[in-house]
Structure formats: structure tokens, C-alpha cells
A and B are shown apart, each in its own frame.
Chain A
Amino acid sequence: MSHTSTDDSDAAAESAGPFRRTLTIMVVALAILVAAFAGLNYLQGPKLSSGSVDANRVVAQGGQQLRLFANQSIRDVAKKHVSVSPAVPFTVSTSGAVIAVQFTDRLRYATKYSVRVSDVANAFQPRVSTFDYTFTTARAEIYYLERADPATGAGQDDSIIRTGLSGSERSVVYSAPRIQQFVVFAQAIAFTTLADDGTSSLSLVGLSSKLVEQIPMPGPGTIDELKGESDAGLLGFVFTSAGPAVAREFTSVLMRVDLSGDHAVAPVPDLAGKPLTVLTWGFLGGSTSIVAHGVDQTVLLIDASKSAPPVPLGQYTELGRSAPDGKSIVVSDVFGKIALSLADGTKTRIPSLPIAGASTYGGDVVLLGKDVARVQQVAVFDSATGGKFQSYLVYESGTTARILYQTKDDAGSIEGFSISPNGQFVAVNVIPDYAHSVSDGYLVDAQSTSIRTVIIDIVSGAVVRSVEGFNESW
């Protein structure tokens, strides 16, 4: 390269003519292109880049969010511009480029939801656009226990089975002899098995690893009312030591196991700090709180994740079940059943509504939501058939009752029921022909060999699935 002198700057400027021209043309051309694309961008409204929703959590818990990410920050979206179909209650909040649609309640399983947000506007631009987003919620999965029929020979395995609510596909998750009860957690199944002497043992089996870990008990005894709270990793049960009543260390004591911690069994303390003896107990859905009915008939609210003392909720003759959202429980006094809201302590009497004019006698009841809509097992005195009680499962709301299930020819017996966490389905445990039922002869929690579980859509009343077995876990 030759370095020419720059002394004569006039000459340089003159010879720089083509350069100047190119430079000018380039700047102008670029400026036009930039202006053109700026205009295009200006006229283009906000776009939906992506959306995210947890299809599994949205059916398991209320208050879950669908987050719609716009490609730019947008003005606050008014609730009237958002529609969700099928219609569900929701709230809308906007922050930056994110529209959060929060579903107040749990959504229905395996349902395609369409969300449309109209009039989405950027603070700077004239154009508005409409976002459409659809998602399909997770299918319901249910686990149930199918015990081997003792008639086909002793020593066969009982199975924990997983199935969906449609089709007939099912898979055996775990098999072992004499499974008494089980609870499903996110990563594992906790189950109790019975020994020949009637004592129980508690084990955990990994859902994917299939490794079995036995959890040591504070001595031989029986385990009953095994319940768990999957999100918190908490397990609880009622334990009674083996041996004659006077010599027992524990009698109907509520025990807890923290599966996210050291897996040690520890008694839940009562108001005096001693092991709590209970009549019945349960987790409040979706929380670490326990409600327990003490032997002195006090209903206690206990946070199982802490060692704080229990909070007494009052004396009741019975403790019923808690709503799937954990916000209310059912208790009974001598006059009947009461819905007790844990949020504000309000009490609402929940009578058993008559069916076709006949008065009913209420059994187990589960509240479905904030009001007193509920599913209840009722018995009706049937004078026509000569003093027989007929058993129904009914949906009650306001002053009306609708029969969800009754056994064929009223020959069977409703043994129990449970509500799916999103309140969409009820699973009913039925012995179809009670007169000819045969027990499987387990020393604790014996069950009829013919027991079936029927799953019913609460809104439509339609039977969606029926399986052989019981102890369903959603």
C-alpha cells in the first residue's frame, strides 16, 4: 500500500466525490428502509409470543395462572376483554408484557379451554390486536387398590393400579401381598400391608425407581386412616399399639411422617403436648393443615408442618370431611350437620333435602365449593318395599337434590365416595349385590371381594368409568 500525502486537502475532497455520493445514497437508502420498517412495526399491533400454563397443576389446585407473553409491553387488559370458554371464574392482571389469567377454581380434566383477549394495545401504537390461546388440561388419573380374590388361592398379590377415566387402559404400579391402604405422592406411593398377626407395616415405593423403603413404627401395632398431602409431602395415620388395651403405648394416636424430611414417624401433639388420640382426622385439601377429632370431641386445627400447638375449633359430635379446596369442613352437633368455613368461622346448617317428597337421612357429605353445594350419601326409608332403606348419592344445592348414583335395583350398598380435587368427578365405592357379598377376610379394613368404584361426572351425572377395586387416590 502506498501512503499518499494528505497535504493537498482540496484535491482530496474533489477526488472524494464518488465516495461522498455513495455515502449519501447509502444513508438516504438506509433511512428510507428504516422508516419503512418503523412504519410497518408501528402499524403492527402487539403479538402473542407464547403462553404458559401448567396443565397438571391447573386441575389439581385453584388459583393457577395462564400467563400470556406478548412480544411487547402492553396496556392493562380489562377483564371484560378476556373470555374463557368453557366459562370459569377468573381474574386478570397485566404486568409489562405479560397477561396473567388466574383461574379462581380448579379446571376440569382433559378439557380444551380457549382464552381470547381482545383489544390488546400498546401504549404507543394505534393498532390493537386479539390474542387467542388454547390449552388442554391434563387427563384425570386415578389410582385404586385391587385386592386378590381369596377364593382363587391364598398368598396372591394385591395390586395398586393406575388408570385414566376414559378407555380401558390400566397399568399395575405396584403389587404386594395383603395391601391394606395406600396414598399416592408425586414421586412415590405410601402403602400399608398387613402381617398374619394383624399388625401393619408402612412402606414407600418409588413410582419410577420401584425401590421400597420400609418406615419403622414405634413398635408393633395397626395402622389405619392412612392419608397424605401430596404437595406438602406429608403423610399421616392413626396408630394403635399391639397387645391388650391396658398395656398399649399408643391407642388411636395420630402420627405424622414428613416425606420431604427424615421420614421419621412422630406423634402429633394435643393441646397439652401429649400424643393426640383421635376419633377421625383428615388433611385440608391442598395445605399442610390437619383437622382432627379428639376423643374428647374437640375438633382441632393443626399445622402439620410446624410444631405449633393445635387450634381448637369447638366441640362437635362428629367431624366430617373437608372440601377439596380445604377452605371449609363439615361438622355435626346434636341437631345435624354444619358447614364450617375455616376462613371466617361462619356456620351454615346443611339439612338433608328430601328426594321426591321422601325425607332422607344424611350420611357422609363433602362440600364442593364456597357455597354449600355438596355431594352427600343419603338413605331413604322406602315404605313401599316394606321398611327397607335405600342408599343414594345425591348432589345438593340450594333447596334441590339430584340423584347422582343409586345401585341397580337398589340391591347394592354404597360403601364410600370421594371427590376429585377439582370437584368435577365423584368416585363411588359400591358393592353391587350386598346380599351375596363375600369379605376378603383381612383383619383390618376388610373389604368385599365384589367392590367396584364407579366414577361419575357431577355436573352431568354420567358414569364415565367403572373399575374393580377401591381406595381410589386422585
Chain B
Amino acid sequence: MPRFSRWQGIVLCVAALVSTVWLAVTNQLILYIHPRYIVFTVIMTVLGLALVIASFGRSPDQEHEQEQEHEHEHEHEYEDAAPRSYRRAISVVGTVVTLVMATALVVVPPATLTTATADQRVINSTQVGSGTKTVDSAASAPAGAFARFTVLDWSSLLRQTTDASFYRDKAANVVGFITKDRDDPQNVFYVSRFVITCCAVDAQPVGVPVFLPNWQNRFAADHWVRVSGSFQTNPSTKSQQSIALVPTATTKVDQPSEPYLY
């Protein structure tokens, strides 16, 4: 068992480390973690790989010797009351699961989170984080600045004020993927993004409601779109959003290289 567990540890290390290196090289680490961790992750990965390679350098004799010493410890391994077969089954299942995970890590192409998570986590269910726009700062921003506001900026503003006059003269131009509005899926969708504080696990979906009647004729959920237009009182009667982006242009775009916002 110890020999196997050693071997398993190294295999898992290789799977995780090599994948990390490849993701870093192809600039896809940001699909999983916040950019601030990239340098640290790369340094630690290189260090980890060096240790893994060093461990290959150990002679088989040594391993064998080691293994024998551990083998008789094995006798004490499970002295708890639980039956041995049950224990063994658990451990086999655990090993299989880790190996499946490792294979997935290596084989499945990296991807962003989808609408499944956005729906499950309820869009805009949480309030603005740090570093987002406040009404005061937005009110004094020069006119051109609004064109660079992201989905996150707008959604935090929408959360703070639904005063239609505030949005007047503030043209929006945002990119995000489509998530259905629950109340009026026919006419309203959210152009949404995930906001990451640490890694994809903590992704919070944020979105701006867009009023585009029969949008399903042209788009589907999960499509990435660029929407430009202005915020107005939501023409939809069913939607609970009082202000919506009424687009002047909606075009399909490729998924951006940095799909998450921070």
C-alpha cells in the first residue's frame, strides 16, 4: 500500500503540475484562478516539478528497501473497529476517484463556468464587492468613461440606484454571456459575467438586464454577446427589474480571453 500511495501521489502531482504549466503557458490559468496568484502558482509549480523529477532520480533499490520497512507497519494500519473489507472498498473507490479526477484534469479541455452555475448561484444575489463603482464616483465620471464600464460596474450601480435620471446620458457597451431572466424569459435576458475573488469556486454571477423582445430567435443562453445601448425604465411588465438596458445593437462575439471579472 505505501508503495502504491507514493506512486499515486507522484502521479497526481504530475497530472496537476503539468496541467498547471500548460495552462500557464497557454494563458488559461485565469479560467481557474485570480490573476494575482499566477506568478506564485507558476513558481510553486516549477518547484514542485523539480521535486517530482528529483524523486524519479531515486534508485529503485532505495524504494524497495523503504517499501519493506513500511510493509510491516502496514499491519497496524487499520486497527479501528470497522471491518477490513469495508475499509478496503472505501480506499479503492477513493483511488479510482482521484485517478478519474487526474485524467479529467489532463484530458478535458479547459472551460469557463456556464449558465448552470449562474442559475444555481442566482444572478446578482450578492452585493457589490470592493473596488466597484459607487453612484458618487460614477456621477462625477466624464462622459467617455461609461463606455468602459463593465457588467460588474453597471450591475453594482443598478443595485445602488434605480433612479432613471441617473442613467440618462450614460451609454453602455458591455460584453457577457446570456442568462435567461426568470420572470420574463421571452423578452429579457441578462448579459452576465462571473466575478472571481480567488478562484472559480467562489465565482459570483453578475448581470445587467437587457430588454430585447424575442431574443431567443437570434441568440441562446451561454452565447457571448456585445450589447450597446442605454438604460431605461424596463419596458417589460413581467420582469422585476425596474431598469433595463435597451440595446441599440446586440452582436454575437467570441468568448473573451479573460472571461471572468475581478
Is the Cβ of B165 less than 8 Å from the Cβ of A260? no
CA distance A260 to B141 in the complex (A): 9
CB proximity of A226 to chain B, nearest CB, Å: 21
CB < 8 Å: which of A9, A63, A286, A305 contacts B169?
Answer: A305
In the complex, per-residue mask of B152-163: 1 if CB is within 8 Å of any chain A CB, else 0: 000000000001
CB proximity of A4 to chain B, nearest CB, Å: 14
In the complex, per-residue mask of A255-267: 1 if CB is within 8 Å of any chain B CB, else 0: 0000011000000
The interface residues of chain B, by DSSP majority, are classed as loop
Contacts of A286 in B (CB 8 A): 165
Is the Cβ of B169 less than 8 Å from the Cβ of A231? no
Is the Cβ of A260 less than 8 Å from the Cβ of B143? yes
In the complex, per-residue mask of A58-74: 1 if CB is within 8 Å of any chain B CB, else 0: 00010100000000000
Is the Cβ of A231 less than 8 Å from the Cβ of B165? yes
CA distance A305 to B143 in the complex (A): 13
CB < 8 Å: which of B79, B142, B163, B169 contacts A232?
Answer: B169
In the complex, per-residue mask of A221-262: 1 if CB is within 8 Å of any chain B CB, else 0: 000000000011000000000000000000000000000110
Is the Cβ of B163 less than 8 Å from the Cβ of A260? no
CA distance A286 to B79 in the complex (A): 80
CA distance A329 to B169 in the complex (A): 24
Q: Is A429 an interface residue (CB 8 A)?
A: no
Q: Is A287 an interface residue (CB 8 A)?
A: yes
The interface residues of chain A, by DSSP majority, are classed as loop
Is the Cβ of A305 less than 8 Å from the Cβ of B163? no
Contacts of A420 in B (CB 8 A): none
CB proximity of B80 to chain A, nearest CB, Å: 10
CA distance A260 to B163 in the complex (A): 19
CA distance A261 to B165 in the complex (A): 17
Closest 8 CB pairs of A and B: A260-B143, A305-B169, A261-B143, A231-B165, A288-B168, A305-B168, A260-B169, A232-B168
A residues within 8 Å of B by Cβ? 9, 61, 63, 231-232, 260-261, 286-288, 305
B residues within 8 Å of A by Cβ? 79, 142-143, 163, 165, 168-169
Chain A to chain B contacts (Cβ below 8 Å), 13 pairs: A61-B165, A63-B163, A231-B165, A232-B168, A232-B169, A260-B142, A260-B143, A260-B169, A261-B143, A287-B165, A288-B168, A288-B169, A305-B169
Known: A260-B142, A288-B168. 15 other contacts (CB 8 A): A9-B79, A61-B165, A63-B163, A231-B165, A232-B165, A232-B168, A232-B169, A260-B143, A260-B169, A261-B143, A286-B165, A287-B165, A288-B169, A305-B168, A305-B169
